[in-house]
Amino acid sequence: MAAYLDRVPWSGIIRIRDMMYSVKDPFRLDQGDVSFDAPATVKDAMTRALAENRTHYLQSTGVPRLRELIAAKLRTKNGIAGAETDHVTVTNGGTHALYTAFQALLEPGDEVLVPDPVWPPTASMIQTAQGVPVGVPLHESLEWRYEIDELRRAITPKTRAIYINSPHNPTGGVLTRADLEAIAELARERNLWIVADEAYEDLLYEGEHVSIATLPGMYARTLLMYTFSKSYAITGLRLGYLVIEDPHLRDRAQKVVLYTTSNVSSIVQFGGIGALEGSQDCVGGFREELRARRDLFYAGIRELDGVFSGTPPKGAFYAFVKIDPALRATDAGRGNPSLSWAVTEHLIKHGRIGCVPGVDFGDTGENHIRFAFGRERAELQGALDAMKVLFGARV
Ligand SMILES: Cc1ncc(COP(=O)(O)O)c(C=O)c1O
């Protein structure tokens, strides 16, 4: 019965993390985390909850006040007019929300269209629900967006859902309103569900985040995933939520949450109440600092004489850069049949720089590398200086 789990892969990111343990004084540009401290609004609320002994079992769907605040946020900030408290289920981070969504939605063999490249756990979680992730390329020439006809052609009688993630990990690409309208039309025409991963909703450097659930008729056929991890820099606390209007799917999802966790940590949920009741200034502050880090990182990359190239992303905090094919003929590109793995291993071993090979995110990612620029400026600068030394012969 459980043998199918043997076919669910571990992510290459795990291999990188293990490699990084052997590196002294590393530059951790491999991890999708930000260096900021948790906002005082979160920490104070958690401390208060502990002092008030809020340490007992809770409703498995989440603390009512938190669910109410989330529903209000969905209506006012995301513009989803129909969002109600009952539609919200609190989860152990966005990962648990996505896991729950796919468990609730998929029958064995159901296909889900995912972007290629994709955040690897998404594909693995689809497989964990015995579904089949089907990659549809994002194109660098389109700033890492879909060719909508390709998406249409990938739909088969087995397709159950389209998973979208904008702003996107690993490329930072952002789907336009027109893209979302075209995807919504496909979903309506072909009777598909949408799983919308809006983990990076607050990390957009240009324009405003648009949720596909705001488009006509779409809230009813969309499973929405959000997380506090990136917006409030609390990746380790594990707080996210799943939003489903459809009562049947919601009932299934709430069973998955009940039987996988009983309830999300009480103290963490009170932290979430603090985050939403308090000032939102930290969210904008984090974004502006990340913009400055993005610009610093790309300015440094440009000084490397074409070793890496790419347009700065419009969202998220990843630099998904193309590797100069000429590196193949150098020490940096020889160590592995995959160029992106060879260069990653070279950067880790010889430059102490953590990063992730593009191919780990899918075939379209080969010949690229992902650097996460959510680290302190000094750490980013250290990595850039190390790259200059490493590729010095070319500069
Ligand atoms: C695209 C995407 N979705 C979801 C998540 C889940 O984040 P968390 O489980 O920390 O909420 C991440 C985390 O890196 C992500 O990159």
Cβ–Cβ < 8 Å for 132, 112:
yes
Q: How far apart are CA 307 and CA 327, in angstroms?
A: 8
Residue range 3-30+282-394 forms a domain whose CATH class is: alpha beta
User: Who lines ligand 1 at CB under 6 A?
Assistant: 32, 93-95, 119, 165, 169, 197, 199, 227, 229, 235, 240
Q: What is the pLDDT of residues 100-144, one digit of tens each?
A: 999 999 999 999 999 999 999 999 999 999 999 999 999 999 999
If you measure from the C-alpha of residue 390 to the centroid of ligand 1, how many angstroms do you get, rounded to a whole number? 32
Say whether domain 40-277 belongs to CATH 3.40.718.10.
no
Residue the block writes with tokens 């071993």 = 349
> Residue 353: which pLDDT band, with cuts at 50, 70 and 90?
very high
Query: Which ligand 1 atom minimizes the distance to the CA of 227?
Result: 11
If you measure from the C-alpha of residue 199 to the centroid of ligand 1, how many angstroms do you get, rounded to a whole number? 6
User: Which residue's alpha carbon is nearest to atom 1 within ligand 1?
Assistant: 169
Percent over 90 (pLDDT), the chain: 92
If you measure from the C-alpha of residue 166 to the centroid of ligand 1, how many angstroms do you get, rounded to a whole number? 12
CATH 3.40.640.10 segments of the chain: 40-277
If you measure from the C-alpha of residue 226 to the centroid of ligand 1, how many angstroms do you get, rounded to a whole number? 9
- Check residue 15 and give its pLDDT: 84
User: Which residue's alpha carbon is nearest to atom 13 within ligand 1?
Assistant: 32
Mean pLDDT calculated for residue range 366-372 = 97
Q: How far apart are CA 239 and CA 96, in angstroms?
A: 9
User: Which residue's alpha carbon is nearest to atom 12 within ligand 1?
Assistant: 199
Q: How far apart are CA 234 and CA 257, in angstroms?
A: 21
If you measure from the C-alpha of residue 282 to the centroid of ligand 1, how many angstroms do you get, rounded to a whole number? 19
> Residue 1: which pLDDT band, with cuts at 50, 70 and 90?
low
If you measure from the C-alpha of residue 328 to the centroid of ligand 1, how many angstroms do you get, rounded to a whole number? 32
* Angle at which helices 377-390 and 281-302 cross, to 10°: 10
Residue 395 has pLDDT above 50, yes or no: no
Query: Which ligand 1 atom minimizes the distance to the CA of 98?
Result: 4
If you measure from the C-alpha of residue 91 to the centroid of ligand 1, how many angstroms do you get, rounded to a whole number? 12
CATH 3.90.1150.10 segments of the chain: 3-30+282-394
Alpha carbon 328 to chain centroid, angstroms: 30
Query: Which ligand 1 atom minimizes the distance to the CA of 165?
Result: 1
Mean pLDDT of the chain: 96
Residue the block writes with tokens 């039309």 = 185
Task: Give a three-class secondary structure readout of 328-344.
Answer: HHCHHHHCCCCHHHHHH
Q: What is the pLDDT of residues 200-240, one digit of tens each?
A: 999 999 988 999 999 999 999 999 999 999 999 999 999 99
